[in-house]
Amino acid sequence: MMTGLLQMIVGIILSFLGALLLLRAWLYYWAFSPRHPLVELCRRFTDWAVSPLGKIIPAKRGFDAPSVLAAFVTAVVAVLSYRMLTPWPATPAGLVIAPFAMLLRWSLEMISWGTIIWAVLSWVNPGHPLTYTLSTMLDPFLRPCRRILPTVGGFDLSPVLLILAANVVLIFVTPLSRGALTF
């Protein structure tokens, strides 16, 4: 019981940190202002990990390498802690693939939750600044969905398709992110 509780707490903390690091890299790619509240939030929680790496590997041309590297290190720590706290066997190939799958898992979960938050905000308060921010960040994922699924009766159903697609991919990625290689 205590192991399960410890696993849950460690998993939540590392997932939150990894997601913030990936969000920081995505915000850097979109060149949001350093004064943007979401950028400030990410910086406050992740500067301790990104700043030392930024001195070794600087961010260049829209790619925040220190944030991505810190997210990868967080994914490695998350996978290793998960493997130490669970009795399930892991294959060596599974442990090599797991950190990459963990990064993909965090990205897909952020896309799902960001789409849900964006959809609710666009209905409730379309003029809210966070609506614009999420719209900008999610547009590369929503645009292909809009080409596939047209607007029906004035409703944009592309967020539903995006959430569905992200969760279908998550079904396959989640076991890989735990080091369980099934083939």
pLDDT over threshold 80, residue 57: yes
The average confidence (pLDDT) of the chain is: 90
Please report the pLDDT score of residue 173 as a whole number: 94
**Measured distance CA(1)–CA(41) in Å, rounded:** 34
CA dihedral (91, 95, 100, 104) positive or negative: positive
Give the CA distances from residue 16 to residues 113, 117, 125, 182, in Å, rounded to whole numbers and listed in that order: 13, 17, 26, 27
pLDDT over threshold 90, residue 152: no
Neighbours of 139 (CB within 10 A): 11
Please report the pLDDT score of residue 183 as a whole number: 53
Q: Residue 77: exposed, middle, or buried by beta-carbon count in 10 A (0-12, 13-18, 19+)?
A: middle
Phi, psi (deg, nearest 5) at residue 128: -65, 140
**Measured distance CA(38)–CA(23) in Å, rounded:** 9
The string of pLDDT tens digits covering residues 85-131 is 877 666 777 788 999 999 999 999 999 999 999 999 999 999 998 99
DSSP 5: H
**Measured distance CA(147)–CA(62) in Å, rounded:** 27
Give the mean model confidence (pLDDT) for residues 40-55: 94
* Alpha helix positions (H), the chain: 2-29, 37-56, 65-85, 92-124, 129-148, 158-177
Please report the pLDDT score of residue 182 as a whole number: 57
Closest listed residue to residue 47, CA positions, set 74, 26, 68, 21: 21
Position 38 confidence tier, pLDDT thresholds 50, 70, 90: very high
Percentage of the chain modeled with pLDDT above 70: 96
